[in-house]
């Protein structure tokens, strides 16, 4: 008896809209573009969304997919951009004006949307950030151990035995080449803007390599030599553990961030406005309802607010 279904069968059972979102998610991950995956987990009638409906929210505020009508979408857009900035998942509760309030709880955000059609929504917002890329330079047992253990930790590991890879997307470069092209590799990494450069070497040799580069204070702070925490490591695997522990600390505590690929492009922070009728925060997009009155721009969460405001002006 066969239990479970294949990924292909699961995907085939999706609605066309959900299948498009799944394909888009795979594409964005391959491109190393940060986004938020929004999934409806509860929908109370009357509402146009259903549990399982999903969308992706990009850094410019654009939404691809379906998580409700225009008013609900506006609330999702605002909350998703905050999730993308802070990197923490959130359960978004979107309630109509007369709904029973939810008690506050960690990991959730409640928004009262006075323009909602009447049904409440709960939407899980999950940031999908590119994994930090670690480039390992060298043909050594330590280099091999770094690549293997780093993959298990969720890093995007790249083996670069000959130190000839482009480094513009690297979060960290770990030089484990035991004397081969160390100075040149460190210099290339610094010139490429890499935020963490680790040199596998003894304290004496590491100091000699770093001193020969004549680094300024800012560059010296980026270079970790000898890289790795002191844990009494002796084997290649133990040394790799000590090095990756220092990289994890840099990511989790010191703010070392993954770098985007060239395909991700530069994304400007979207413009926010306040709907003068309902008071909702609005992310300005090409299709956002808009009105100019006496030289002043107004933006609205939906056409109804625009029409009402126009009649009152």
Residue 135 has pLDDT above 60, yes or no: yes
Q: Would residue 36 count as lying in a domain?
A: yes
The string of pLDDT tens digits covering residues 99-120 is 777 777 889 999 888 876 677 8
Alpha-carbon distance 178 to 229, whole Å?
A: 18
The string of pLDDT tens digits covering residues 207-266 is 999 999 999 999 999 999 999 999 999 999 999 999 999 999 999 999 898 876 554 555
Q: Which pLDDT score, from 0 to 100, does residue 1 have?
A: 42
Q: Would residue 227 count as lying in a domain?
A: yes
Q: Would residue 301 count as lying in a domain?
A: yes
Residue 28 has pLDDT above 90, yes or no: yes
**CB environment 59-86: b (16+ within 10 A), e (fewer):** bebbbebbbbbbbbbbbbbbbbbebbee
Q: Would residue 1 count as lying in a domain?
A: no
The answer to whether the Cα torsion of 77, 81, 87, 88 is positive or negative is negative
Beta strands in the chain (DSSP E): 35-43, 54-58, 63-65, 90-95, 108-112, 121-128, 133-137, 156-160, 172-175, 196-199, 223-224, 272-274, 281-283, 290-293, 296-299
Residue 171 has pLDDT above 80, yes or no: yes
> Based on the structure, what is the number of domains in the chain?
3
Q: Would residue 262 count as lying in a domain?
A: no
More confident residue, 45 or 208: 208
**Are 143 and 122 members of one domain?**
no
**Are 175 and 216 members of one domain?**
yes
Q: Which pLDDT score, from 0 to 100, does residue 79 have?
A: 94
Q: Which pLDDT score, from 0 to 100, does residue 9 have?
A: 60
Q: Would residue 75 count as lying in a domain?
A: yes
Q: Which pLDDT score, from 0 to 100, does residue 3 have?
A: 56
Q: Which pLDDT score, from 0 to 100, does residue 207 have?
A: 94
Those residues with Cβ within 8 angstroms of residue 85's Cβ, 6 or more apart along the chain or in another chain: none
**Are 148 and 163 members of one domain?**
yes
Q: Which pLDDT score, from 0 to 100, does residue 55 have?
A: 96
Those residues with Cβ within 8 angstroms of residue 188's Cβ, 6 or more apart along the chain or in another chain: 163, 167
Q: Would residue 264 count as lying in a domain?
A: no
Identify the domain containing residue 294 by its residue range.
Answer: 272-312
The string of pLDDT tens digits covering residues 282-306 is 888 888 889 898 889 998 888 888 8
More confident residue, 135 or 13: 135
**Are 235 and 221 members of one domain?**
yes
Q: Which pLDDT score, from 0 to 100, does residue 8 have?
A: 62
Alpha-carbon distance 228 to 244, whole Å?
A: 7
Neighbours of 166 (CB within 10 A): 11
Domain boundary among 128, 143, 158: 128
Average pLDDT over every residue of 275-279: 86
Least confident of 142-151, 168-177, 294-303: 294-303
Q: Which pLDDT score, from 0 to 100, does residue 302 have?
A: 83
Q: What is the mean pLDDT of the chain?
A: 89
Which CATH number goes with the domain that contains 168?
Answer: 3.40.50.720
More confident residue, 303 or 140: 140
The string of pLDDT tens digits covering residues 1-21 is 455 656 566 566 678 888 999
Residue 188 has pLDDT above 50, yes or no: yes
pTM of the model: 0.74
Neighbours of 35 (CB within 10 A): 25
Q: Which pLDDT score, from 0 to 100, does residue 299 have?
A: 87
């Amino acid at each position: 008896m066969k239990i479970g279904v294949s990924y292909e069968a699961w995907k085939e059972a999706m609605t066309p809209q959900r299948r498009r979102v799944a394909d888009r998610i795979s594409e964005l991950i391959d491109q190393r573009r940060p986004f938020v995956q929004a999934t409806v987990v509860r929908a109370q009638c009357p509402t146009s969304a259903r549990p399982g409906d999903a969308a992706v929210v990009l850094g410019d505020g654009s939404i691809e997919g379906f998580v409700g009508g225009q008013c609900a979408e506006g609330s999702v857009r605002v909350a998703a951009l905050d999730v993308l900035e802070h990197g923490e998942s959130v359960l978004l509760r979107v309630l109509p004006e007369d709904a029973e309030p939810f008690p506050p709880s960690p990991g959730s955000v409640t928004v009262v949307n006075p323009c909602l059609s009447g049904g409440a929504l709960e939407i899980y917002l999950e940031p999908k950030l590119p994994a930090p890329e670690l480039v390992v330079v060298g043909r050594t047992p330590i280099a091999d151990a770094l690549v293997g253990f780093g993959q298990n930790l969720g890093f995007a590991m790249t083996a670069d035995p000959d130190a000839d890879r482009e480094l513009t997307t690297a979060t960290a470069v770990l030089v484990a080449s035991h004397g081969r092209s160390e100075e040149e590799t460190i210099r290339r990494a610094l010139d490429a803007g890499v935020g963490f450069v680790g040199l596998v070497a003894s304290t004496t040799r590491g100091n000699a390599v770093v001193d020969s580069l004549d680094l300024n204070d800012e560059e010296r702070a980026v270079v970790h030599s000898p890289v790795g925490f002191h844990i009494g490591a002796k084997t290649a695997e133990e040394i790799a553990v000590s090095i990756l522990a220092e990289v994890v600390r840099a990511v989790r505590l010191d703010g070392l961030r993954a770098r985007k690929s060239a395909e991700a492009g530069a994304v400007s922070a979207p413009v926010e406005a306040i709907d003068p009728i309902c008071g909702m925060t609005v992310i300005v997009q090409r299709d956002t309802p808009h009105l100019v009155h006496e030289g002043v721009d107004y933006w609205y969460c939906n056409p109804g607010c625009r029409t009402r405001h126009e009649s009152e002006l």
